[in-house]
């Protein structure tokens, strides 16, 4: 595993704006997909896709977001 050389602190305001206090982040390099979960397990019963983002809901509560082509979006 490669060591992180620096942390981009510009992400902190965005992390603090997330609706939940706890979240889990996983990245699949092979598919360039970022998974953000606000609850484990998510137990989503509905999903809405908008562009490269898939929002996962349990009824009206947002429980996760899948980011497709994550590297492309971060450029």
Contact 23, 52 (CB under 8 A): no
Rounded to two decimals, the pTM is 0.80
* 10: in domain: no
Structural domain range at position 46: 21-74
Residue at 16 is within a domain: no
Q: Which two tokens stand for residue 75?
A: 């450029």
User: Which of helix, strand or coil describes residue 74?
Assistant: helix
DSSP 3-state assignment of 64? strand
The pLDDT value recorded for residue 1 is 64
Domain presence at residue 63: yes
pLDDT in tens, 9-33: 888 898 888 877 888 999 999 999 9
The number of folded domains in the chain is 1
CA distances from 21 to 4, 18, 55, 57 (A): 24, 7, 18, 17
32 within domain boundaries: yes
Specify the DSSP class assigned to residue 37.
E
């Amino acid at each position: 595993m490669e060591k992180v050389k620096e942390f981009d602190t510009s992400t902190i305001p965005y992390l603090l704006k997330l609706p939940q206090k706890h979240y889990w982040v996983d990245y699949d390099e092979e598919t360039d997909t970022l998974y953000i979960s606000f609850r484990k397990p998510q137990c989503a019963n509905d999903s809405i896709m908008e562009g490269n983002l898939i929002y996962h809901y349990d009824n009206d509560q947002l429980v996760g977001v899948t980011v497709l082509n994550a590297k492309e979006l971060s450029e």
